[in-house]
Amino acid sequence: MTANQRKIIYRILPYAMLMFIGICFLLPLLWVLVASVDPNAMQSLKLPGSVTINNYAEVIASRPNQRAFLIGLIMSLGQAALVVLLGLLAAYPLSRYQLKYKKPFMLTILFMTSLPITAVMVPVYQLFLSIKLYDNIAGVILFHVASSMPYGIWMLKNFMDSVPSDMEEAAWVDGASVFTGIRKIVAPLMVPGICTVAIFTFSGSWGNFFVPYILLNTPEKFPAALKLYQFFGQYGMVDYGKLAAFSVLYAIPSVVLYMLSQQFMSKGFGLQGGTKG
């Protein structure tokens, strides 16, 4: 092998490897996209004989599906709104005031962000049974809020640290209350941070399967994630086209919100970035 040939191989090899990885990642995804418009969809990827939007139309027209999507939306929106609201309130004293136990508090919060939620579900279930919150959509929202609160507070506090306090103090001198200061000065400057937290919380809840699966019992209260599982959990004869269409519709909010969040996180994804201060 001449030096020149080797050089060419070195140039092409990374592209070839990336191509291969890309195809491996693409194939399972391609199936769900193609099957969703195939009137005779099968379990394996194949070129559809004709293209239809019937699968989507039927999924959208179904009442139970509409309800599942609506419930999912209410849960995720409710959670995101509560996390941002309560998180902002908590972040304020943590960011602006020298508290005695701030450091251990923040470390506890950080530790809680990484606990596997799976491990606390059994006692949560028992707790919900005893306080009559089992099979209650508001209960699911409350637990979701509690479990994503540590992350919300941690992120919002860091975002708030980067908002200078001078302007706020100037407003106080002019007679504004602390709350007005947050609402009129701090919050507007934190819009990117608030959006990031809201989007992450929303997506986390929208895509979560385990928590509602444990805490809900009545099929009429199931959000989209559970509905989808019910749909393909019963194996056997499955209408793959409709199943795929439901999956695509269910995945769309996550995809769109991820793309939106990219705008707010211009600085990429460094682990250091979010944890400074």
Partner 1 sequence: MSSAAIPLSSGKRKHPTWIYYLFPSVAVMLVFFVYPILLTFFYSFTNLALTGESAKELKFVGLDNYIRMFADPSVKISIWNTLVFLFGSAVVGQQVLGFIIAILMKHKNKTFRRAIGTVVLAGWVTPEIVCALCLYSFFADEGTLNALLAFFGIHTVAWLYTVPMLTIILANIWHGTAFSMLVFQAALDDVPQEIEEAALVDGASKWKILTTIILPYIKGTITTNMMLVTLQTLGVFGLIYAMTGGGPGTATTTLPIFMYNQAFVNYQLGYGTAISLLLLLMGVVLSLFYIRSLKE
Site for partner 1 in 161-180 (CB under 8 A): 161-165, 169, 172-173, 178
- Binding to partner 1 (CB under 8 A) within 127-156 occurs at 127, 142-143, 145-147, 149-150, 153
Q: How many helices (H) and strands (E) does the chain have?
A: 13, 0
Q: Minimal CA–CA distance to 75: which of 150, 140, 148?
A: 140
Of 50-58, 73-81, 189-197, 239-247, the segment contacting partner 1 by CB under 8 A is 239-247
Q: d(Cα 191, Cα 197) in Å, to the nearest integer? A: 10
Per-residue string for binding with partner 1, 193-232, x by CB under 8 A?
-------------xxxxx--xx----------x--xx--x
Contacts of partner 1 in 29-48 (CB under 8 A): 29, 31-32, 42-46
Q: Which of residues 47-66 bind partner 1 (CB under 8 A)?
A: none
Distance, CA of 249 to CA of 1 (rounded, Å): 52
Q: How far is the CB of 33 from partner 1 (least distance, A)?
A: 10
Q: How is residue 157 written in tokens?
A: 């506090």
Instruction: Please check whether residue 69 is in contact with residue 179, taking contact to mean a CB–CB distance below 8 angstroms.
Output: no
Q: Of the listed pieces 1-9, 57-65, 91-99, 191-199, which binds partner 1 according to CB under 8 A?
A: 91-99
Closest approach of partner 1 to the CB of residue 250, in Å: 6
Select the residue interacting with partner 1 from 6, 8, 9, 93 (CB under 8 A). Answer: 93
Q: How far is Cα 191 from Cα 159, in angstroms, rounded to an integer? A: 10
Closer by beta carbon to partner 1, 196 or else 208: 208
Residue 153 near residue 109, CB atoms below 8 Å:
yes
Q: Are 49 and 202 in contact (CB under 8 A)?
A: no
